[in-house]
Amino acid sequence: MYFLFPVLSYVLFSPHLALCQDSGSEGTLLRGDKAEISVTVRDSSGEAISVPATVKIFKEGMPTDQKEASHGRAFFILRSLGDYTVAVNATGYKPAQKEVSVPVAVKAEVDVYLQKESAFGGNTGIPGRPLLAPKAKEALDKGLQALGDNKPKEAEKFVEEAAKLAPGHPDVLYVQGVLYLSLHNWAQAQGVLEKASQLEPNNARVLAALGMALTDQGKYDEAIPPLEKSLQMQTGGWETHWALGKSYYYRQQYDQALKTSQQALAESNGKAPQIDLLVAQSLTAVGRYDDAAQTLREFLKSHGDRPEAATARRWLDGLVKNGKIRRE
């Protein structure tokens, strides 16, 4: 769906096609029986702002119209009734938004108050970012809760509902990707996460999840760039380091694999002891056979009942048979 966004944006926001006009200006589009939203953008004192401002309206997380405010005023003729979000960005002010419900064909008056940006802090908002409508947010929150409770089928129901309500929202796409990862549907996870990354190319968590989906499919060359970029933007995250370590290893970048897998193991705080096996593989690859054997022995001593124990024993025996270490 995202490759359609530039076309949709042109159709919706083209000055030749826009339906929003100042109600008091010459050439105003007659409202007739259509609903209208009248927006006044004010500063903290309550006065209409004089600086240029961009006003956008969203329905169910999707942009439907845009207008440059004139003397703090903007007017929109609505194509349909329902719940809308009004989002405002103005130079020197923090972004703001306000929900408005238009259940009948009337003129809805909306005042949006802006706060001045701090001289010491930048704007942390994302201008024009799709906004989640309340119903979509509720469904997504329930899906996240179900994922946290390890109830993937229940999560799937709520996430699908959120996707129907806000199919183009990057948060929905991200959670869909996480859900597919939990269900081991790697290709589906890759698909939705690629869409999310196209919308938000600098979102660290989206890039990390995309890299994991690629790693799980054995697409190591493709996985490394998003994983590296994610860690450059947001330090930490043992899952990200683990996936990157795997990708480095299978691309025969053994020094990087060792460093990254050791970092993943340290950050995991015992949550994923099987990372020891990747550390042992990397140590073997760089010729540190005694260290690899010691890592495997410690894993077997502490986690001999885990499914990976058989692999650890086989690798340890292999080091002995190949003359890399002495049998104890």
CATH number, domain containing residue 65: 2.60.40.10
Domain boundary among 235, 252, 284: 235
Q: Per the domain annotation, does 89 fall within a domain?
A: yes
Least-confidence region, from 58-62, 75-79, 224-228: 58-62
- Element (H or E) spanning 42, and its range? strand 36-42
Range of the domain at 154: 132-235
Pair 17, 75 in one domain: yes
Pair 57, 18 in one domain: yes
Q: Does residue 31 have a pLDDT over 70?
A: no
Average per-residue pLDDT for the chain: 84
Pair 98, 181 in one domain: no
Q: Per the domain annotation, does 302 fall within a domain?
A: no
Q: Per the domain annotation, does 47 fall within a domain?
A: yes
Distance CA 108, CA 180 (A): 41
Q: Does residue 80 have a pLDDT over 60?
A: yes
Pair 157, 214 in one domain: yes
Q: How does pLDDT run across 250-308, given as a tens digit for each residue?
A: 999 999 999 999 999 999 988 899 999 999 999 999 999 999 999 999 999 999 999 99
Q: Per the domain annotation, does 123 fall within a domain?
A: no
Q: Per the domain annotation, does 324 fall within a domain?
A: no
pLDDT at 2: 31
Pair 144, 103 in one domain: no
pLDDT at 235: 63
Q: Does residue 61 have a pLDDT over 90?
A: no
Q: How does pLDDT run across 181-222, given as a tens digit for each residue?
A: 999 999 999 999 999 999 888 888 999 999 999 999 999 999
Pair 93, 185 in one domain: no
Q: Per the domain annotation, does 278 fall within a domain?
A: no
What whole-number percentage of the chain has pLDDT above 70?
84
How many domains does the structure of the chain reveal? 2
Pair 144, 213 in one domain: yes
Pair 91, 189 in one domain: no
Pair 109, 137 in one domain: no
Q: Does residue 29 have a pLDDT over 70?
A: no
What whole-number percentage of the chain has pLDDT above 90?
56
Pair 77, 39 in one domain: yes
Q: How does pLDDT run across 219-257, given as a tens digit for each residue?
A: 999 999 999 999 998 766 899 999 999 999 999 999 999
> CB–CB of 281/265 below 8 Å?
no
pLDDT at 65: 87
pLDDT at 47: 87
Q: Per the domain annotation, does 295 fall within a domain?
A: no
* DSSP character string of 235-269: ---HHHHHHHHHHHHHTT-HHHHHHHHHHHHHHHT
Pair 161, 104 in one domain: no
pLDDT at 118: 58
Helical packing angle, 134-148 and 152-165, nearest 10°: 160
Q: Cα–Cα distances in Å, from 73 out to 49, 95, 159?
A: 9, 16, 37
pLDDT at 128: 52
Domain boundary among 219, 235, 251: 235
